[in-house]
Amino acid sequence: MNKILLTLIIGLYALTAQATTCPNPLTSSLKWGEIPKPWVLNPFSSTPQGSPQTIFKQAHILQARYGQGIVCTYQFPLGEYSIWQQVKVKLPAAGDYRWIATYMGFICNDSREICQFYTV
């Protein structure tokens, strides 16, 4: 009975996961220097400038036993800024070539479209 219940819970967890990417700095409200909801500004970061030269730099899954949030970092001519969202994130599989394991979580340095993460 416990195995059936556990399988059901894991199955429901897998069904509720949604593939997401970081906001596009050229088509979202980041274009005007405003952070889209539900994202918030990283308190240790510069503020978004809304520059047309802003590019996506990296995504970082924060880990504390399981995914606790996602940080998206962007680069603009005067530096960089990052936004984050505190949300449960599925940790990437060990064989996922897009995400590199670090001591704080996982990092993806590819393009914004390739750095997909799964929120619950």
Per run of 10 residues, the mean pLDDT along the chain (length 120 residues) is: 64 66 92 92 90 93 82 93 92 90 91 90
For position 12, what pLDDT does the model report? 54
| Alpha-helix residue ranges (DSSP H) falling in the chain | 2-16
Residue 4 maps to a domain: no
81 closest CA partner among 57, 53, 104: 57
Residue 14 maps to a domain: no
Residue 98 maps to a domain: yes
Residue 33 maps to a domain: yes
Number of domains in the chain: 1
- Answer whether 45's CB lies under 8 Å from 39's CB: no
Q: What is the pTM of this model?
A: 0.82
Q: How far is CA 51 from the centre of its chain?
A: 21
